[in-house]
């Protein structure tokens, strides 16, 4: 590197666990690097993702949104609806993934170029949360990113950190320590009279979840119809430092992301019925606009409404449970008999394995890491 080079260090947060843990890791282990943390908000993120990114901003200092930096005067013109019209009312899909390009990568590139132009940077190092236990890949980059000035670094790979290490980093940072649901949950683990630690019974946990569900339903802004069972998973995720969506969905990203499994769509409907309706409305919009037929979020001939009948819903849930149980048995067979370790595995953690997919069938670093 030339002496005259001025390097910009950037780390993109996706709202996912790996990039979040990497941001914490870099702040704690490489404090001398002046890293610019960024999160490109598509405007269609889950509330839990926004909540998590806000917590992260508290941890790492500041998180900028390239969208806001480059489209300050006409942000709404660059949002999903605008892009959908521009793409002739074709919903994005794994084969035509214009959403990531237009809503994540283009703002990022414009932001980088602006910084290079205005602040005199000549090199960019982008830190990516690829772990030591997964294949190396650089993510979803367009050709306009110039490899002459951009270098990708993978500190987790270089330093040998795996998935377990990522979970430990998140647990240690404990971003949700002041979250009301987490505070109530943790109180169950302490004898309120003596202050001694205790293990709550399942009934105690269920009772608390029933109270928390009621509180959520009383909140007018939240039309959620979440079950106590699902809420428990959400609270347990936050209790271990992970974003709440991790209790029911395997990835961050847009509410209507086409990479989610059918079971995740059903859970979206349960927790965020408005977001599910919005996704259905987009299907209606493109149906009306395209006389030559259309693809839905789930592909051709499968509108979201086809998931909604009680019979279909039960079928999807049973199928998911069966697949998850089969996967757990496989995992048990692999575990060392001598140690007999019973590690609690949640389905969101192993969704790709359950459905035999590699990285969500093409999902990538940009949206989910
Ligand atoms: S999360 Fe899904 S829908 Fe959103 S930009 Fe990424 S690929 Fe597209």
Domain harbouring 86, CATH code:
3.40.50.620
Q: Is 235 helix (H, G, I), strand (E, B) or coil?
A: helix
Structure tokens at 239: 């209790």
Are 21 and 140 in a shared domain?
yes
Q: Which DSSP letter does residue 350 get? A: G
Give the per-residue pLDDT at 57: 95
Give the per-residue pLDDT at 8: 96
Taking the CA of residue 252 as reference, the ligand 1 atom at the shortest distance is: 1
E strands present in 143-234? 150-153
Query: Is the minimum distance from the CB of 360 to ligand 1 under 6 angstroms?
Result: no
Q: Is 153 helix (H, G, I), strand (E, B) or coil?
A: strand
Dist. CA 212–CA 330, nearest whole Å:
35
pTM for the full model? 0.89
User: Ligand 1 mean position to 97 CA, how many Å?
Assistant: 8
| Residue keyed to tokens 């569900």 | 213
Is the residue at 322 inside a domain? no
Residues 296 and 282 sit within 8 Å (Cβ to Cβ): no
Dist. CA 41–CA 56, nearest whole Å:
14
- Which of 136, 165, 194 lies at the terminal end of a domain, its last residue? 165
Are 152 and 224 in a shared domain?
no
Give the per-residue pLDDT at 329: 87
User: Ligand 1 mean position to 281 CA, how many Å?
Assistant: 17
Question: Which positions ≥6 away from 104 have C-beta within 8 Å?
Answer: 40, 42, 366, 367
Dist. CA 265–CA 279, nearest whole Å:
10
3-state helix, strand, coil in the chain (%, to 5): 55, 10, 40
Radius of gyration, alpha carbons of the chain: 22
Are 40 and 134 in a shared domain?
yes
Residues 174 and 55 sit within 8 Å (Cβ to Cβ): no
Mutate to test the pocket of ligand 1, among 100, 245, 249 (most ligand atoms within 8 A of CB): 100
- Which of 114, 141, 165 lies at the terminal end of a domain, its last residue? 165
Question: Which positions ≥6 away from 123 have C-beta within 8 Å?
Answer: 1, 5, 6, 7, 8, 149, 150, 151
Query: Is the minimum distance from the CB of 259 to ligand 1 under 6 angstroms?
Result: yes
Mutate to test the pocket of ligand 1, among 254, 282, 297, 365 (most ligand atoms within 8 A of CB): 254
Are 154 and 189 in a shared domain?
no
Cα 273 → chain centroid? 19
pLDDT in tens, 100-123: 999 888 889 999 999 999 999 999
Give the per-residue pLDDT at 53: 95
Query: Is the minimum distance from the CB of 42 to ligand 1 under 6 angstroms?
Result: yes
Give the per-residue pLDDT at 337: 56
Residues 67 and 44 sit within 8 Å (Cβ to Cβ): no
Structure tokens at 62: 């500041």
Residues in the chain with pLDDT values less than 50: 142-143, 338
Give the per-residue pLDDT at 226: 86
Are 64 and 141 in a shared domain?
yes
Is the residue at 181 inside a domain? yes
Domain count, the chain: 2
Give the per-residue pLDDT at 345: 77
Dist. CA 70–CA 114, nearest whole Å:
8
User: Ligand 1 mean position to 101 CA, how many Å?
Assistant: 9
Are 47 and 115 in a shared domain?
yes
Dist. CA 160–CA 278, nearest whole Å:
42
Closest residue CA from atom 2 of ligand 1 = 257
61 closest CA partner among 97, 24, 22, 9: 24
Give the per-residue pLDDT at 208: 98
Are 66 and 133 in a shared domain?
yes
Give the per-residue pLDDT at 138: 57
Q: Is 40 helix (H, G, I), strand (E, B) or coil?
A: coil
**The domain containing residue 45 runs over which residues?**
7-165
């Amino acid at each position: 590197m030339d002496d005259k080079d001025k390097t910009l260090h950037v780390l993109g947060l996706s709202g996912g666990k790996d990039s979040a843990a990497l941001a914490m890791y870099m702040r704690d282990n490489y404090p001398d690097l002046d890293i610019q943390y960024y999160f490109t908000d598509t405007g269609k993120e889950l509330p839990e993702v926004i909540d998590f990114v806000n917590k992260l901003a508290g941890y790492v200092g500041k998180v900028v949104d390239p969208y806001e930096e480059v489209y300050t005067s006409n942000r709404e013109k660059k949002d999903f609806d605008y892009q959908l019209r521009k793409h002739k009312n074709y919903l994005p899909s794994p084969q035509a993934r214009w959403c990531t390009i237009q809503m994540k990568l283009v703002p990022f590139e414009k932001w980088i170029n602006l910084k290079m132009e205005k602040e005199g940077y000549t090199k960019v190092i982008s830190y990516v949360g690829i772990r030591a236990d997964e294949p190396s890949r650089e993510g979803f980059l367009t050709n306009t990113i110039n490899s002459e000035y951009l270098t990708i670094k993978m500190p987790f790979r270089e330093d040998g950190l795996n998935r377990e290490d990522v979970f430990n980093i998140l647990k240690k940072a404990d971003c949700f320590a002041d979250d009301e649901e987490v505070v109530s949950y943790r109180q169950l683990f302490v004898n309120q009279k003596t202050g001694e630690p205790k293990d709550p019974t399942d009934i105690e946990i269920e009772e608390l979840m029933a109270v928390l569900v009621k509180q959520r339903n009383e909140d007018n802004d939240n039309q959620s119809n979440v079950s106590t069972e699902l809420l428990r998973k959400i609270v347990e995720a936050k209790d271990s430092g992970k974003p709440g969506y991790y209790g029911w969905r395997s990835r961050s990203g847009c509410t209507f992301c086409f990479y989610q499994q059918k079971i995740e769509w059903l859970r979206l409907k349960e927790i965020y019925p408005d977001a599910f309706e919005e996704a259905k409305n987009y299907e209606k919009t493109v149906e009306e606009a395209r006389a030559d037929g259309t693809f839905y979020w789930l592909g051709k001939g499968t509108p979201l409404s086809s998931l909604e009948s009680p019979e279909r819903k039960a079928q999807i849930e049973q199928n998911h449970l069966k697949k998850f149980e089969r996967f757990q048995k496989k995992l048990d067979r692999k575990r060392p008999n001598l140690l007999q370790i019973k590690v609690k595995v949640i389905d969101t953690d192993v969704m790709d394995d359950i459905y035999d997919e590699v990285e969500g069938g093409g999902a990538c670093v940009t949206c989910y890491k």
